[in-house]
């Protein structure tokens, strides 16, 4: 059942006398009349959430991209920030991020077995190691050489971590 709406203020302007008593349709919300719709342009005003004030307040538009305000200045505290719109207003659904395929996790035992652990050498800073050699360390346990850095350092992958150790010291 439609109800009458007495004169009310909308967008800061009163309805014209001809629209003083309108019938509100039972289905769906009414759209504001054309003379009340805000024009989005630099220097215009919009209601937006202010980070500093923590409220939805009037803001002056500083930059517009694609017909939407992107940079605004709070008329209360004068902080300049990105437009976050009014509270409760949603910017629409965000596009889904493209999911990255994760590399398959290979167990450490499989990596170690591919390098012939029977030829493991005890770690010593005086020894020189090459890539893919298996090493027995007194503290970190068994690992393999994954990279040789510079002349005096070697990167060894252990079960718990990757360590950079010295090698080839006399």
Rounded Cα distance, 32 and 17, in Å? 16
Rounded Cα distance, 130 and 117, in Å? 14
How does pLDDT run across 96-113, given as a tens digit for each residue? 777 778 777 888 888 888
- Residue 5: is its pLDDT beyond 70? no
Helix (H) or strand (E) holding 121: strand 121-122
Alpha carbon of 137 to those of 11, 90, 126, 143, 154: distances in Å? 76, 58, 13, 8, 13
- Read off the pLDDT band of 20 (50, 70, 90): very low
pTM above 0.75, yes or no: no
How does pLDDT run across 123-143, given as a tens digit for each residue? 999 999 999 999 999 999 999
Q: What is the pLDDT of residue 36?
A: 52
Give the pair of three-digit tokens for residue 139: 């503290």
How does pLDDT run across 25-81, given as a tens digit for each residue? 445 566 655 555 557 888 888 888 888 888 888 889 888 888 888 899 999 898 888
């Amino acid at each position: 059942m439609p109800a009458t709406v007495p004169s009310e203020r909308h967008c800061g302007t009163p309805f014209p006398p001809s629209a003083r008593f309108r019938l509100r349709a039972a289905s769906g919300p009414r759209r504001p009349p054309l003379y009340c719709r805000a024009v989005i342009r630099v220097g215009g005003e919009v209601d937006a959430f202010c980070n500093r004030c923590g409220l939805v307040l009037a803001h002056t538009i500083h930059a517009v991209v694609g017909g939407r305000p992107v940079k605004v200045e709070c008329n209360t505290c004068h902080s300049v920030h990105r437009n976050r719109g009014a509270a409760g207003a949603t910017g629409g659904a965000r596009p889904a991020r493209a999911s990255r395929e994760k590399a398959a996790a290979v167990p450490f035992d499989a990596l170690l077995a591919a390098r012939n652990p029977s030829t493991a050498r005890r770690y010593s800073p005086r020894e020189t190691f090459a890539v893919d050699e298996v090493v027995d360390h007194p503290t970190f346990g068994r690992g393999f050489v994954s990279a040789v850095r510079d002349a005096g350092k070697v990167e060894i992958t252990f079960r718990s971590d990757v360590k950079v150790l010295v090698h080839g010291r006399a």
